[in-house]
């Protein structure tokens, strides 16, 4: 597993551009909200730690992970420099997991190819709830922190 020996919350602040003048949009799935709230908190706190101003962070909620695509597309149309899409899909007994994961992945990829503002993929696609807990503030850190650092780097790409 990619995160087995890597804590997602570790970053060297001295290597991260200052986020003071950047505007962030964060779209959060309400499905599996105990996980997505942990991811959001990790992302939000990291952005603030890296200089982002609270008034420059806009949050929108959407019902589920599949809706992250449309929510992120609409967020790209707002006065933001970068969008973070936060969701969590956990394997169940049906193929629904595969369809949602594939759709969200391809949808966010398409937004990055077609839009002029990056959309950061912060969607956990785990086999169990425990795996999601471990990646949203548990023993592997917080994927939201990693997404925030990625957002800052992508918003300043080429600057």
The predicted-structure confidence for 94-147, as pLDDT tens digits, reads as follows 888 888 989 999 999 999 999 999 999 999 999 999 999 999 988 888 999 999
pLDDT of res. 8: 59
* Weakest mean pLDDT among 1-10, 76-85, 104-113, 122-131: 1-10
Q: What is the mean pLDDT of residues 66-81?
A: 97
pLDDT confidence band for 6 (50 / 70 / 90):
low
User: Above 50 in pLDDT, residue 1?
Assistant: no
DSSP string, 23-51: -EEEEEESTTHHHHHHHHHHHHHHHHHTT
Q: Say how many C-beta atoms besides its own lie within 10 A of residue 153's C-beta.
A: 15
pLDDT of residue 45: 97
pTM assigned to the model: 0.94
Of 34, 62, 52, 51, nearest in space to 129 by CA: 34
E strand or H helix that includes residue 103: helix 96-114
Taken in order of first residue, the domains within the chain and their CATH numbers are 21-155 (3.40.50.960)
Residues marked active site are found at 96
pLDDT surpasses 80 at 62:
yes
> Is it the case that residue 155 has pLDDT exceeding 90?
yes
């Amino acid at each position: 597993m990619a995160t087995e020996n890597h804590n997602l919350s570790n970053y060297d602040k001295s290597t991260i551009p200052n986020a003071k003048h950047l505007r962030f949009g964060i779209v959060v799935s309400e499905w599996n909200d105990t996980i997505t709230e942990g991811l959001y908190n990790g992302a939000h706190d990291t952005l603030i730690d890296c200089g982002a101003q609270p008034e420059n962070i806009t949050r929108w909620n959407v019902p589920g992970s599949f809706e992250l695509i449309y929510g992120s597309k609409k967020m790209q149309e707002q006065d933001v420099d970068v969008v973070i899409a936060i969701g969590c899909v956990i394997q169940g007994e049906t193929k629904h997991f595969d369809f949602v994961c594939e759709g969200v992945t391809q949808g966010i990829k398409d937004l990055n190819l077609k839009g002029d503002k990056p959309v950061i993929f912060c969607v956990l696609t785990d086999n169990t709830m425990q795996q999601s807990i471990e990646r949203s503030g548990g023993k592997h850190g917080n994927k939201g922190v990693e997404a925030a650092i990625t957002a800052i780097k992508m918003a300043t790409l080429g600057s």
